[in-house]
Amino acid sequence: MKLKFVVAIVCFFTSFMCCFAQNVEDSALYFTASTINYGTIAEDGGVVTAYVDAINRGDTPIYIEDIITTCGCTKADYPREAINPNQTIRIGISFDPMNRPGRIERKVMVVASDSEKHTILNMVGYVQARERTIDEIYPFDMGDGLRLHTTSRALGYLEHGKESVEYIEYVNTSDQTIYIGVESILSSGALTISYPEYIAPNESGEIVVRYELSENSTAYGSLVDNNYLIINGKRSQYVVVTSAIAVDNFDSVDDISAPRADISKNIIKFGEVNCVNSQHTDSFKLKNVGGSRLELRSVESSSEALHCEVLSRGTEPEGSVEVVVTLDSSKIADIDDIFTARIRIITNDPIRPMQTVRVTAIPMW
């Protein structure tokens, strides 16, 4: 395959990178350590608190305006009153390890009143995992003792001529043998489910879900399947939902000559809309900035209130394809909340076969 898929994910935490602890030249509030080390702690041992001291090395009082944490598992305790010159204060950083096993790698940001830059304190340590119950490992009770660790699997892109496989783990928690079947209530025609005919008491294993398309398939876009498990002749309590995105086969695509889809807008805002038989129209374009013909394979909407009309199915390099979006506000399901939907566009762009446009509106009477 000539085309190389390169995914570069660059996360810029600019607010966290503007300075580090003990940046005396920016703030007179000096921290005795830049890292808070919790050591090894038990996941079920309860909230732990570590402390760090700071001293005002300046000539005027300083206030800690805020300490910003990166998640709800971390809380900071600090004095709200002024820190006078040469005064030392203690800050407590509490961490809740429950359901967070593994390495601790977090940051807290201290906002002091005498500097526009902020001090970063690093949190490190290790959470020793607790022993989990069967119900926690397999949270979905399907009935008659059968439990699953998940009821949904999204298999991502599925190229024509290929297959994609995922697994759903199960366990029989009963003392009786369970007999299994499958009832389809929504079928894409591309899914095969492999499962045991029966499961012995305390037996665990995997249900195999496999999507496969032929090389000459005309399917593009969302492939969604909903299935009930039939357990001892009865429907399961939950529907098993699986999905994939059907796209072209890109094995023989050349790097240089590949089409590239550049979308003109990522969001369409209709603003306030009348919910009584009111229609509103907007559009966006897909420009082909690549080296060969761009084909628009599929346009999908997540809401019945949105209709998309494609004015052409493809374009040569430097050309564009227009998609007209019509919102029928009378079909908005929840008129008491902001309307949000997504349009999914599938093309033969091998780098980004799927792109999305977000649509919003404010329902009004």
Domains present along the chain, CATH in parentheses: 14-128 (2.60.40.10), 135-247 (2.60.40.10), 261-364 (2.60.40.10)
pLDDT, position 194: 97
pLDDT tens, 187-223?
Answer: 999 999 999 999 999 999 999 999 999 999 999 999 9
Contact 256, 290 (CB under 8 A): no
pLDDT tens, 91-126?
Answer: 999 999 998 999 999 999 999 999 888 899 999 999
- Average pLDDT per block of 10 residues along the chain, 365 residues long: 36 37 66 94 94 94 90 91 95 93 92 88 94 93 97 96 96 96 97 96 96 95 97 96 96 88 93 83 95 95 93 93 93 84 95 94 84
Q: What is the pTM of this model?
A: 0.71
DSSP state letters, 274-326: ESSS-EEEEEEEEEE-SSS-EEEEEEEESSTTEEEEES-SEE-TT-EEEEEEE
pLDDT, position 332: 86
pLDDT, position 82: 94
DSSP state letters, 157-188: EEETT-EEEEEEEEEE-SSS-EEEEEEEEE--
**What's the CA gap between 237 and 233, in Å, rounded?**
13
**What's the CA gap between 47 and 74, in Å, rounded?**
9
Beta-bridge partner residues of 238: none
pLDDT, position 311: 84
Of 123, 90, 120, the C-alpha closest to 22 is 120
The CA-based angle 217-221-225, given to 5 degrees, is 90
pLDDT, position 151: 97
Question: Which structure tokens are listed for 201?
Answer: 């008491």
